[in-house]
Amino acid sequence: MADGAAAGNDALVDRPGMLGVLMLAPAVIYIAAFVGIPFVLAILLSFSSATTGNPSIHGFVGLDNFIQVVREPQFVTALVNSVIVTFGTLALLLVLATLESELLARAFRGKRLVQTLLILPWAMPASLAAISWLWLLDSQFSPLDWIFRQAGILGPGGLFGPARHFYYLGRTDLAIASVVVINVWRMLPLATLIVLAGRLSIPRDLFDQAAIDGAGFFRTLFRITVPALMPVLLVAVLFTGLLVFGDMAVVALTTHGGPGHSSQIIPYWAYLKGIESGDLSGGAAVALFMLPALLVVSVLTLRFAYRSQEA
Amino acid sequence: MAVLKIRDLKRHYGKVTAVDGVDLETQEGEMLAILGPSGSGKTTLMRMLAGLEQPSAGDITLDGRSVVGIPPRKRNVAMVFQSYALYPHMSVHENILFPLKSHKVPRAHWAEKVDWAVDTLGIRHLLERRPDRLSGGEKQRVALARALVRDPELFLFDEPLSALDAQVRNIARAELRDLHARTRITTLYVTHDQVEALGLGDRIAVMNGGRVRQLGTPEALYFDPADLFVASFIGNPPMNLLHRGETVLGIRAEHFVPREQAREPQTALTFRIRIDQLEFLGSEWLAYGFDEAGNDESRLVVRLPQSRGDQVRAGQVHEFLVARQHVKAFDAHTGQRRADTGLAETAHG
């Protein structure tokens, strides 16, 4: 009996195409349940008058939610901030990931330790990271301020004096800059790993040849390394760009979009509106404003990933 | 044109010694081949000359100036890698310009220098192409042009022909020979292929175990090997080695003369060889067999002219004479060459 059952299972698995279907099924079901259905719901919600008190999607209101959202003053602020944060993060990431991979591609004493330290932000729990950053950026007890005061940059007579604090999260420009810095800190390990993989696949002969041909560090970097890295830099940009643009955790844990709404970003505003304020349909509409950008970037990412696979 | 001198050069990697005290001196404008099996230290030696590796000890001088510690870009040394290492995202023209830009050669001289290098190698029609659109032979010529454009004092070639197809290789070898004849730039040519070394080198340095075993003309290496390594490495087939007590006798396959053809039998050594295998090579035969009188196991190879093939059969015993000046003697323990005199007596016994 048992033998017969086992043979039956084997026959099922042996059938062409069956094994593939079986192995893909869990992933497909997972994505359909937790990504696909919520996505469809979000679209339906955005055209309805649903609230947390009355989460029915039957009240069809057309584009009213979108029109209303666009008219709110926070909309432009959040959109502009989202773009600034994403592009600011990417610009810094590109430079730092390239330099870091350049460092890690070389042999030096203590390399393993450096590697471990550089990967650490990726492994750190968000809550722990938030506590550290909130302390670093605290209005009264920031150790950064203390260092700046010791260096004579802050405090009476300092370059930015006589104030004794920067109030990082209390000023719009510094709040947005802080969000960018934290995003860079968080994404740098991923970006570096992507770029490093590309860096290590460049044949060593090219660097030896460049050295013999007389190229110094910068000429080698900009004329040999970066052109050869272009495909992976693009993948790194698209990949981390997606993650940063759609992320609300950094803002939620640090500035809360403040002061006021001045450091608001689209995903966090969608969350505040839809969940905290109970305006489900409005929140869905805000979130859907990210869809075109995310869609374009996702398609580009997949295309480049496939192209580099074929090459 | 420069004279390169290498004195007691060493390079260790941890406990591994890659180059173990190399002394070499080039002559002005010569093509010196560095020949050795893989792992003999020849590539490490080359990389030290280019400045890509720092020696652990010893000195390298170019025209009397020491270059140890000077970075590659400040040495006027050009190197062509086995892979050619063309910059993949640059056109042929940009590849050739790269060393000029890097060395801050004034823009006014670029066209003239590029024209000269391009015409010397006949690659004008390739200038706008990308490296991935070039054949192996074309890549080599572009790599040579890029090396030549700086007017280097010293050329280093690291196995430049090994990436080419067999047919292209012969043509490329002739082109290298021709290029060197025209430019007379002192050239070091690393290879593991003795046909390349014998065919290209004015002189050859045979390396093994991180040392230079012998430096000499191709003829000297072939006819007068300095030790057993060179004797067994150079020539195809390699030298026959016969163990006679403390001495090893080396005899080239073509120096065995059938008794009936020998001119002066009284000044020669006699070998009775039992033939066990014959190989037809077209212009000649190779006969393999054992010395009947010898007490050692080493198999001998005898080269026979085409016309004698039908007179020798496997299983037969034939007498061969070898003129005394063709018998080289080596010390069985050190492997070093011994003076020939006196050894002939030992051989007789």
Whether A14 is covered by a domain: the verdict is no
Helix (H) or strand (E) holding B347: helix B343-348
Give the end of a domain, one of B165, B197, B223: B223
* Confidence class for position A207, pLDDT limits 50, 70, 90: very high
Residues of B in contact with A212 (CB under 8 A): 50-52, 72-73, 77-79
Residue B347 pLDDT? 43
Residue A8 reports pLDDT greater than 80: no
Taking an 8 Å cut-off on Cβ atoms, the answer to whether A205 and B81 are in contact is yes
Residues of A in contact with B102 (CB under 8 A): 210, 213-216, 219
> Do B53 and B167 reside in the same domain of the chain?
yes
> Do B37 and B78 reside in the same domain of the chain?
yes
Residue B171 reports pLDDT greater than 90: no
Taking an 8 Å cut-off on Cβ atoms, the answer to whether B102 and A215 are in contact is yes
- Domain tally for chain A? 1
Residue B348 pLDDT? 43
Tokens of A7: 């043979």
Whether A47 is covered by a domain: the verdict is no
Whether B230 is covered by a domain: the verdict is no
* Of A282, A286, A242, nearest in space to A266 by CA: A286
* Of B324, B79, B300, nearest in space to B190 by CA: B79
* Confidence class for position A265, pLDDT limits 50, 70, 90: confident
Residues A29-49, mean pLDDT to the nearest whole number: 88
Q: Are B36 and B73 in contact (CB under 8 A)?
A: no
Its sign, for the CA torsion A185, A189, A190, A191, is positive
Q: For chain B, say whether A8 makes contact (Cβ under 8 Å).
A: no
Provide the domain limits for residue A128: 73-310
> Do B270 and B339 reside in the same domain of the chain?
yes
Give whichever of A47-56, B102-111, B261-270 has the largest mean pLDDT. Answer: B102-111
Tokens of A104: 């890690």
> Do B274 and B168 reside in the same domain of the chain?
no
Beta-carbon pairs below 8 A across chains A and B: 62
* Confidence class for position A311, pLDDT limits 50, 70, 90: low
Distance from CA of B79 to the nearest CA of A (A): 7
Which tens digit of pLDDT belongs to each residue from B38-55? 889 999 999 999 999 999
Q: For chain B, say whether A201 makes contact (Cβ under 8 Å).
A: no
Residues of A in contact with B73 (CB under 8 A): 211-216
> Do B266 and B214 reside in the same domain of the chain?
no
Provide the domain limits for residue B312: 241-348
Residue B265 reports pLDDT greater than 70: no
Across the beta sheet with B77-80, the strand order is B77-80, B154-158, B186-191, B31-35, B203-208, B211-216
Which tens digit of pLDDT belongs to each residue from B310-338? 788 888 888 888 888 888 888 888 888 88
Whether A284 is covered by a domain: the verdict is yes
Distance from CA of A202 to the nearest CA of B (A): 10
Distance from CA of A98 to the nearest CA of B (A): 18
> Do B160 and B28 reside in the same domain of the chain?
yes
Residue A139 pLDDT? 75
Residue B345 reports pLDDT greater than 50: no
Name the residue with higher pLDDT: A14 or A43: A43
Whether B235 is covered by a domain: the verdict is no
Q: Are A172 and A255 in contact (CB under 8 A)?
A: no
Whether A274 is covered by a domain: the verdict is yes
Give the end of a domain, one of B168, B191, B223: B223
Distance from CA of B82 to the nearest CA of A (A): 9
Whether B228 is covered by a domain: the verdict is no
Lowest mean pLDDT of A127-131, A229-233, B47-51, B227-231, name the range: A127-131
Q: Which long-range contacts (CB under 8 A, 24 or more apart) does A172-178 make?
A: A172/A259, A172/A262, A172/A263, A175/A254, A175/A255, A175/A258, A175/A259, A175/A262, A175/A263, A176/A81, A176/A84, A176/A85, A176/A88, A176/A263, A177/A88, A178/A133, A178/A137, A178/A254, A178/A255
Across the beta sheet with B4-13, the strand order is B16-25, B4-13, B57-62, B65-66
Residue B349 reports pLDDT greater than 50: no
Tokens of A165: 């604090």
For residue B93, how far is the Cα from the chain centroid?
32
> Do B208 and B77 reside in the same domain of the chain?
yes
Whether A29 is covered by a domain: the verdict is no
Whether B232 is covered by a domain: the verdict is no
d(C-alpha B188, C-alpha A270), whole Å: 70
> Do B165 and B255 reside in the same domain of the chain?
no
* Of B246, B260, B261, B271, nearest in space to B327 by CA: B271
Q: B108: how many CB neighbours lie within 10 A of its CB?
A: 7
Taking an 8 Å cut-off on Cβ atoms, the answer to whether A214 and B79 are in contact is no
Its sign, for the CA torsion A21, A27, A33, A35, is negative
Which tens digit of pLDDT belongs to each residue from B119-151? 888 899 999 999 999 988 899 899 999 999 988
Q: For chain B, say whether A209 makes contact (Cβ under 8 Å).
A: yes
d(C-alpha A108, C-alpha A104), whole Å: 9
Residue B229 pLDDT? 92
d(C-alpha A231, C-alpha B70), whole Å: 35
> Do B61 and B141 reside in the same domain of the chain?
yes
> Do B124 and B204 reside in the same domain of the chain?
yes
Which tens digit of pLDDT belongs to each residue from A149-165? 777 777 777 677 677 77
Whether A27 is covered by a domain: the verdict is no
Give the end of a domain, one of B188, B223, B258: B223
Q: Are B4 and B20 in contact (CB under 8 A)?
A: no
Length of chain B: 349
Residue A115 pLDDT? 87
Distance from CA of B84 to the nearest CA of A (A): 8
> Do B162 and B30 reside in the same domain of the chain?
yes
**pLDDT averaged over every residue in chain B:** 87
Tokens of A24: 């893909």
For residue B320, the SS3 value is strand
Q: B321: how many CB neighbours lie within 10 A of its CB?
A: 22
The CATH number of residue B274's host domain is: 2.40.50.140
**pLDDT averaged over every residue in chain A:** 83
Cis ω before B237 (30° cut-off from 0):
yes
Residues B163-176, mean pLDDT to the nearest whole number: 84
Residue among B87, B103, B104 with most chain A CBs within 10 A, to mutate: B87
Residues B73-93, mean pLDDT to the nearest whole number: 91
Tokens of B320: 């061969």
Whether B229 is covered by a domain: the verdict is no
Searching chain A, which residue's CA lies closest to the CA of residue B72?
A212
The CATH number of residue A186's host domain is: 1.10.3720.10
* Confidence class for position B340, pLDDT limits 50, 70, 90: low
* Of B307, B302, B250, nearest in space to B274 by CA: B302
Report the residue from B51, B89, B103 with minimal CB separation from A228: B89
Residue A52 reports pLDDT greater than 80: no
Residue A134 pLDDT? 84
> Do B145 and B269 reside in the same domain of the chain?
no
- Domain tally for chain B? 2
Residue A310 pLDDT? 58
Give whichever of A46-60, B170-184, B307-321 has the largest mean pLDDT. Answer: B170-184
The per-residue b/e assignment along B219-229, b for 16 or more CB within 10 angstroms, e otherwise, is eebbbebbbbb
The CATH number of residue B77's host domain is: 3.40.50.300
* Confidence class for position A199, pLDDT limits 50, 70, 90: very high
Searching chain B, which residue's CA lies closest to the CA of residue A208?
B52
Residue B268 pLDDT? 78
Residue A136 pLDDT? 84
Which tens digit of pLDDT belongs to each residue from A212-250? 998 888 999 999 999 988 888 888 888 888 889 888 888
Whether B271 is covered by a domain: the verdict is yes
- Spatial neighbors of B127 by CB under 8 A, at least 6 apart, are B91, B92, B93, B118
Whether B231 is covered by a domain: the verdict is no
Q: Which residues pair with B208 in a beta bridge?
A: B211
Its sign, for the CA torsion A290, A296, A300, A303, is positive
For residue A240, the SS3 value is helix
* Of A293, A176, A193, nearest in space to A238 by CA: A293
ipTM of the complex: 0.82
* pTM given for the model: 0.77
Name every residue in B having a CB less than 8 A away from some CB of A: 47, 50-52, 71-73, 77-79, 81-83, 85, 87-89, 98-99, 101-103, 146, 150
Q: Are A233 and A225 in contact (CB under 8 A)?
A: no
**Residues of chain A numbered 221-280 and touching chain B (CB < 8 Å):** 223-224, 227-228
* Of A309, A310, A264, nearest in space to A289 by CA: A264
Backbone φ and ψ of B62, nearest 5°: -115, 115
Taking an 8 Å cut-off on Cβ atoms, the answer to whether A211 and B71 are in contact is yes
Lowest mean pLDDT of A46-50, A117-121, A269-273, B247-251, name the range: A46-50
Residues of B in contact with A223 (CB under 8 A): 87, 98
* Of B37, B16, B48, nearest in space to B213 by CA: B37
Whether A184 is covered by a domain: the verdict is yes
Residue A309 pLDDT? 58
Residue B341 pLDDT? 42
Q: For chain B, say whether A214 makes contact (Cβ under 8 Å).
A: yes
Residues B87-93, mean pLDDT to the nearest whole number: 93
* Confidence class for position B204, pLDDT limits 50, 70, 90: very high
Residue A157 CB burial class (10 angstroms; 0-12, 13-18, ≥19):
exposed
Residue A93 pLDDT? 93
Whether A59 is covered by a domain: the verdict is no
